[in-house]
Amino acid sequence: MTDALYIHLPFCARKCLYCDFLSVPFSAARAEQYVVAVCTELSMKKKLFESLSTLYIGGGTPTLLGLERLVRLFRCLRDTCGLSPDTEITLEANPGTVSSDLLDALRSLGVNRLSIGVQSFQDSELKVLGRIHNSAEAACAIAEASASGFSNISLDLMYGIPGQTMASWKDTLSQAVSLGPTHISAYELTPEKETPLFGMLSSGKLSLPHEDLVLDMYGFAIDFLGEHGYRHYEISNFARPGRECRHNLNYWDRGDYAGVGAGAHSFVNGIRAYNSSDLEHYIEELHFRCLPQKEEQALTRAEASREHIFLGLRKTEGILMTSPVFSVFHLHEAASGLLEKGYLKTCGEYLSLTRRGLVVSNMVIGKLLDNLGL
Ligand code: SF4
């Protein structure tokens, strides 16, 4: 049983130039078949769900699905999953695909948290990223969401964009804060192979900002958002008190969750499972009421401990060293060099990254895992 559910809706109006997520161009016919498949999967997994604490609908661009299909999806969710007024229901929204009517309707369906993919408030940067909206549309979508009654709004921002300067990043952060979101995610752009952006960088058509500047941008975000009342609770995430994302916290805590939709992952009772990421295959299998899902073997104790460390250390609170998960490891001993160098710190029984360690978190976590032989 799990009280956390993720649903993947993979349709987008146009592929952003940096995107390597599972997303396909929107087609009404395909979206129709997809919703039927998702509802079939939900009903087949019904026994897995207890009253949900968190439901996260991501993509793709869920707001592109169209209201009528979203209404059907929510009807099906209410029949299968036990939604309650306490369930945190997040829906990802692209500023280029929302209207007041749609936002009002989402509120009445029970969506109580919007995650809006803004990325930047600079039109030139949005163009480099291949986003379908401009900065004015993003600001308008946020204002409309507030007017529709959304009091829990998260904004995704990006730093390290080709052409971005410290001044433009400061301006993006300050515009974001002035719009009053409860949560801000600030991600470094990491160009993935196979994306058009990667090709443009490789050919020299574009170039990334210098890595020292990128580190400074991250440092500035930590300071600026902290000064404006956003608690830095995870490497890339900042929230007003009590507005931390329940769905993501559960993931970093290695809580159980079910995934529904093409390419969605699940983690229930220590077993990871993956849905087919081939959309046609996903739809076809569910047409015959077969779950298009592959299970992995249960993790060994060492693999589980490794996950606890690399996920748990993402949170600024860190990991509980006295947790039974680490009982066979000499965690404090393995961390001693990193503690001495100021990359890690202890607070009571918790081990966490310092400000210095946060900036180079991959290196620090990798080194700690090496020291533990994990
Ligand atoms: S909107 Fe999101 S999922 Fe869709 S193409 Fe852009 S980055 Fe990818």
Written as tens digits, the pLDDT of the chain (374 aa) is 899 999 999 999 999 999 999 999 999 999 999 999 999 999 999 999 988 999 999 999 999 999 999 999 999 999 999 899 999 999 999 999 999 999 999 999 999 999 999 999 999 999 999 999 999 999 999 999 999 999 999 999 999 999 999 999 999 999 999 999 999 999 999 999 999 999 999 999 999 999 999 999 999 999 999 999 999 999 999 999 999 999 999 999 999 999 999 999 999 988 899 999 999 999 999 999 999 999 887 888 888 889 999 999 999 999 999 888 777 678 888 999 999 999 999 999 999 999 999 999 999 999 999 999 88
Q: CA-based angle 18:22:25, to the nearest 5? A: 85
Regarding whether 246 and 321 lie in a shared domain, the answer is no
Distance 15 CA to ligand 1 centre (A): 6
Indicate whether 293 belongs to any domain.
no
Indicate whether 278 belongs to any domain.
no
Regarding whether 153 and 68 lie in a shared domain, the answer is yes
Regarding whether 241 and 318 lie in a shared domain, the answer is no
Q: Is the CB of 61 under 6 A from ligand 1?
A: yes
Residue from 127, 187, 189, 118 nearest 154 by CA:
118
- CATH code: domain of residue 77: 3.80.30.20
pLDDT at 270: 85
Domain span at residue 193? 2-252
DSSP-derived 3-state class of residue 90: strand
Nearest atom, ligand 1, residue 94 CA: 1
Last residue of a domain, one of 237, 252, 267: 252
Last residue of a domain, one of 235, 252, 269: 252
Q: Identify whether 337 is preceded by a cis peptide bond (ω within 30 of 0).
A: no
Nearest atom, ligand 1, residue 131 CA: 6
Q: What is the dihedral of CA 115, 121, 122, 126, to 10 degrees?
A: 10
Task: Transcribe 335-353 into DSSP letters.
Answer: HHHHHHTTSEEEETTEEEE
Name the domain count of the chain.
2
Residue from 308, 335, 330 nearest 319 by CA:
308
Q: What is the DSSP letter of 257?
A: B
Distance 352 CA to ligand 1 centre (A): 32
Q: What is the DSSP letter of 18?
A: T
Phi, psi of 51 (to 5 degrees): -50, 120
For ligand 1, mutation pick of 8, 20, 22, 23 (most atoms within 8 Å of CB): 23
Regarding whether 67 and 197 lie in a shared domain, the answer is yes
Regarding whether 235 and 95 lie in a shared domain, the answer is yes
DSSP-derived 3-state class of residue 65: coil
Residue from 45, 51, 60, 47 nearest 4 by CA:
51
Q: Is the CB of 118 under 6 A from ligand 1?
A: no
Task: List residues bridging with 293 in a β-sheet.
Answer: 275
Distance 56 CA to ligand 1 centre (A): 16
Regarding whether 150 and 230 lie in a shared domain, the answer is yes
- CATH code: domain of residue 320: 1.10.10.920
Q: Is the CB of 22 under 6 A from ligand 1?
A: no
Phi, psi of 15 (to 5 degrees): -75, 125
Regarding whether 230 and 83 lie in a shared domain, the answer is yes
Contact 12, 27 (CB under 8 A): no
Total-model pTM? 0.95
Distance 34 CA to ligand 1 centre (A): 18
Regarding whether 314 and 228 lie in a shared domain, the answer is no
Indicate whether 292 belongs to any domain.
no
Q: Round to whole Å and give the CA distance between 74 and 172.
A: 34
